Structures are given as C-alpha cells and as structure tokens.
Amino acid sequence: MLLFWLQTSTGLVWPMAGWLHTLLIIGLGPITAIPLLLFARAAQTLKLATLGMLQFIAPTLQLLVAVLVLHEPVSGHRWLAFALVWISLALLTWDALAHQPRLANGKTDRLDAHTHTT
C-alpha cells in the first residue's frame, strides 16, 4: 500500500529507472548481508570483552572521521557526552583489572571459553 501511495503521489524512481538500476538495487542485498554475516562469524571466535571494546571503537572512529575528515560540526554537549562515555569505560576497565584474581605465579586467572573445560 505504501509503495502504491508513493508511486501515485510523489513518484517512485526505482520501478521506472530501468533494468540495470533494478539489478543494482537487488544486488545491494547480498552486498550488505555478506559483511554482516562475516562479522557475525568472526564475532563468535572473539572473547566478549574484545567484542565489547570493538563496539566502543567503531563509533569513535566514525566520530573522528566525521570531525577530522568531513569537518562536521560537533556541539560542546556532544563532546562532553563522548568524554563521559570514555571516562566511564576507562573506570570500568580499571576496576575489572584491579579486581581480577591473581594466581600464585603472578598471572591472572582468566576463564577462556576455548580452553576452559567443565
């Protein structure tokens, strides 16, 4: 219904653009899905702590590209929020490392899902 309404009111470009344009739009599905599937497969092999850190690094890199390369304006409130998120992450990491159990040989006792057996 929505597509019919758009076609009659504002006009859709996609059905009228020709077969090459239609094939390109159809091809965008696999082009989008393949990297997501590869990420999902790779994420299964990572520790959750590593994956969690990647979830902070990706938006940070996007912000840096937007500001430094694309010269997007960022308000002071957004910089403050950005700083608070990273300060919180630093405190959380420090706390986790400070409270990590130590073995007699000085190494940390980490549970690794790939090597730990129950």
- Of residues 37, 41, 79, the one with CA closest to residue 60: 79
Report angle CA 9, 3, 23 to the nearest 5 degrees. Answer: 115
Quick check: 110 and 99 in contact, CB under 8 A?
Answer: no
In the prediction, which pLDDT does 83 show?
Answer: 92
Quick check: 108 and 101 in contact, CB under 8 A?
Answer: yes
| Cut 0.85: pTM above it | no
In the prediction, which pLDDT does 37 show?
Answer: 95
- CB neighbours (10 Å) of residue 52? 13
In the prediction, which pLDDT does 55 show?
Answer: 84
In the prediction, which pLDDT does 47 show?
Answer: 86
In the prediction, which pLDDT does 31 show?
Answer: 93
Ranges of the chain with pLDDT below 50: 113, 117-118
